[in-house]
Amino acid sequence: MQLLYLLIEIIIKCVVVFGCLMLSVAYLTLMERKFLGHIQIRFGPNRCGPYGLLQPFSDAVKAFFKEDLIPGRADKGLFVIAPMISIVTAIGIFAVIPFGDQFTIPGTNWVVKLRVADVDIGLLYIFGLASLGEYGIILGGSSSGNKYGLTGSLRAAAQMISYEAALGLSVIGVIILSQTLRLTEIVNHQGGGFWNWNIWYQPVAFILYLICGVAELNRTPFDMPEAESELACGFNIEYSSMKFALFFMAEYAHMVTVAAVAVTLFLGGWQSPLPILGFIPGVVWFCIKVFILLFFFIWERGTFPRLRYDQIMKFGWKVLLPLAIINLLITGLVVSLK
Amino acid sequence: MIIPMLKGLALTLRRFFSKPITTQYPEEKIPPGQRWRGVQYFEKDERGKTKCVACGLCMVVCPSQCISIETAEDEEGRRYPLCYELDATRCIFCGFCEEACPVGAIFMGKTCEWVDVQRGPFILDTEKLLEQKKYNP
């Protein structure tokens, strides 16, 4: 009986998390277009429904009814499987993100923990899946039999290798501080007010994480794999219809995930910034923090131009990686001297 | 390097909170410029008919030869256009007809939005040209 209840609980949590994630991905595309519009002193989409709120659905309908094209010279198996890899990994990361504390269902003693899975190597799982997600882009570009796609996927591979290193090193500081890979414990470690958040102990790591995260997302200033002006959309040039939509959704789901991981590691997860405000549920705080980071991602996209390829490589290897190592050394030194 | 980036971020944030300058086209329209030459219209005389005396000067001056006039005389001996046709699909909106008109009958209007699926409606006769007046107060 206990097992059945547990199964039901897990299924309900999966459905809710998946639904919320997909809905937020749909509206993130609208939010991005609206915010970019306002940054450029225009409105953005505002024709479909009030304030353009139905735009994501009309986009989805459009994507469904487009012709699904597979180029004749493409490697069909890889071509079909690449968008699936992208979307599955992007959604899969969300399984370990804790988006709230636990609560007891009234009338019973059944404790519901607000996370799908509480894995004790959560952080490792996240980085494993995140680098797997890049395979979707690399395979998608190289299997489409197009030179732009191939160039895009090569760039994606090079960028992944250069920035994943700094990304991993920037997070190790947090692991040293909280002495665990379990995300729940990392969040609990930061409880009791915003002065306990890891961002104050690891500011350099936070900035490095954001920069490398943006590079992992392949967003402007680091959108080399799909540089519109020179590669004509890069790795997804041959994709159409729902396959393209899957890549698109994967990119935005990945964006939510990077923001959620940043919130968990550096901004105290579901913890409220002031102990007085503890009566507001943790999920709300989590969503607010994620929203702020998502706004930052859109904001910086509307501000910065794309870097040149050699500049990206130089920045990754000669600036970010040494900074991450120095930050790691200093953190280790301070922790060991304490 | 970092300060200019922050300046850029501040600029875009200011833009984000400023009011968009977009004109919501079908709902709000920017009036055309003062010297804009749009579709022609006919000025009416005191009897409510066209002022045109069918002198044919506009027909002669028109560089794209889109005006054709058939002249007639009424019972008082006054000349009037029996059939005045202006082919708006050929018109280049140069405004020479307005300049040439000795009696101030034809004027360049302000209308610039004109869509149809057939060619017929684009041939303006006297009635249609008189009707165009209402778009040009």
| Residue-wise pLDDT tens digits, A209-227 | 988 888 888 887 887 777 6
Q: What is the pLDDT of residue A55?
A: 87
Question: Best of B2, B11, B12 to disrupt the A interface by mutation (most A CBs within 10 Å)?
Answer: B12
pLDDT tier at A100 (50, 70, 90 boundaries)?
A: confident
- Give the span between the Cα atoms of B58 and A290, in whole angstroms: 69
Q: Which residue type occupies A28?
A: L
Decide the pairing of beta strands A111-113 and B106-108.
unpaired
How far away is chain B from the Cα of A45, in angstroms, using its nearest Cα?
Answer: 12
* 3-class DSSP state of B75: coil
Question: In chain B, what residues touch A299 (CB-CB under 8 Å)?
Answer: 9, 12-13, 16
**Cβ neighbours of residue B26 under 8 Å, at least 6 residues apart?**
none
Shortest Cα distance, chain A CAs vs residue B31, angstroms: 20
Looking at residues B64-90, what average pLDDT do you find? 86
pLDDT at position A315 is 86
The predicted model gives B26-40 an average pLDDT of: 85
- Amino acid making up residue B126: T
pLDDT band at A172 (very low <50, low <70, confident <90, very high): confident
Residue A107 main-chain phi, psi, to 5 deg: 90, -15
**Distance (Å) from the C-alpha of residue A300 to the closest C-alpha of chain B?**
7
pLDDT of A267 = 85
Q: From residue B99, how far is each of A69, A100, A105 by CA, in Å?
A: 59, 77, 86
Stretch A136-153: mean pLDDT:
83
User: What domains can you pick out in chain B, each with its CATH number?
Assistant: 27-135 (3.30.70.3270)
| pLDDT of B113 | 82
What pLDDT is recorded for position A122? 82
Residues from chain A that touch B2, judged by Cβ atoms under 8 A, are none
B76: distance to nearest CA of chain A, Å? 59
Q: What pLDDT shows up at residue A133?
A: 82
Phi, psi of B114 (to 5 degrees): -150, 110
Other beta carbons within 10 angstroms of residue B118's beta carbon come to: 6
Cα separation, B137 vs B131, whole angstroms? 12
pLDDT of A10 over the 80 cut: yes
With 80 as the cut, is the pLDDT of residue B129 above it? yes
* pLDDT > 80? residue A127: yes
| Structure confidence at residue B47 (pLDDT) | 78
Residue A130 has pLDDT above 80, yes or no: yes
Query: What's the pLDDT tens digit per position in A229-260?
Result: 777 777 777 788 888 888 888 888 888 888 98
Could you tell me whether strands B40-42 and A111-113 are parallel, antiparallel, or unpaired per DSSP bridges? unpaired
Rounded percentage of chain A residues whose pLDDT exceeds 90:
1
**Would you say A54 and A239 are in contact if contact means Cβ atoms under 8 Å apart?**
no
Report strand pairing: A102-104 vs B79-87.
unpaired
Interface mutation target, options A46, A303, A306, A315, chain B, most CBs of B under 10 Å: A303
Can you give the pLDDT at residue A254?
87
- In the prediction, which pLDDT does A166 show? 87
CB contact under 8 A, A41 and B15: yes
**Residue B123 in 3-state DSSP?**
strand
What pLDDT band is residue A156 in, cutting at 50, 70 and 90?
Answer: confident
pLDDT at residue A98, as a whole number = 85
Give me Rg for the CA atoms of chain A.
Answer: 21
Min distance B6 CA to chain A CA atoms (Å)? 10
**pLDDT above 80: residue B48:** no
* Block residue for tokens 């002022």: B51
Closest CA–CA distance from residue A82 to any residue of chain B (Å): 35
CB contact under 8 A, A299 and B12: yes
The verdict on a CB contact (< 8 Å) between A303 and B12 is yes
Give the model's confidence band at B78: pLDDT under 50 very low, under 70 low, under 90 confident, else very high: confident
pLDDT digits (tens, 9 = 90+) for A59-92: 888 888 888 888 888 788 888 888 888 888 888 8
Furthest C-alpha separation in chain B? 87
Residues of B in contact with A40 (CB under 8 A): 15
pLDDT of the residue at B110:
84
Nearest one of B38, B17, B130 to B93, comparing CA atoms:
B38
Average of per-residue pLDDT values in chain A: 84
Residue with tokens 């159409």: A240
- State which residue of chain A sits closest to B24, comparing Cα positions: A43
- Please check whether residue A41 touches B, CB under 8 A: yes
**Distance between CA atoms of residues A60 and A26, nearest Å:** 9
Q: How many CB pairs under 8 A join A and B?
A: 36
> Rounded distance, CA A202 to CA A125, Å?
22
User: What's the confidence (pLDDT) of residue A179?
Assistant: 83
Instruction: Give me the residue from A39, A42, A43 closest to B12, CB to CB.
Output: A39
On the question of pLDDT at A306 being above 80, the answer is yes
Residues of B in contact with A304 (CB under 8 A): 5, 8
Q: Which of B9, B11, B20 sits opposite A43 (nearest CB)?
A: B20
Confirm or reject contact between A311 and chain B (CB < 8 A). Answer: no
Q: What are A215's strand-pairing partners?
A: none
Query: Does A319 reach chain B within 8 Å, measured CB to CB?
Result: no
The secondary structure element, H or E, covering residue B131 is helix B126-131
Q: Is A300 an interface residue toward B (CB < 8 Å)?
A: yes
DSSP A48-115: SSGGGTTHHHHHHHHHHHS-----TTS-HHHHHHHHHHHHHHHHHGGGG---S-EEEPTTS--EEESS
Q: Residue A282: what residue type?
A: G
Tens digit of each residue's pLDDT (9 = 90 or more) over A37-52: 888 888 888 888 788 8
Q: Is the pLDDT of residue A194 over 80?
A: no
Asked if A47 is an interface residue toward chain B (Cβ–Cβ < 8 A), one would say: no
d(CA A272, CA A286): 9
Find out whether A325 and A166 touch, Cβ atoms under 8 Å: no
pLDDT above 80 (res A103): no
pTM value > 0.90: no
Residue A325, amino acid? I
Q: Are B16 and A300 a contacting pair at CB < 8 A?
A: no
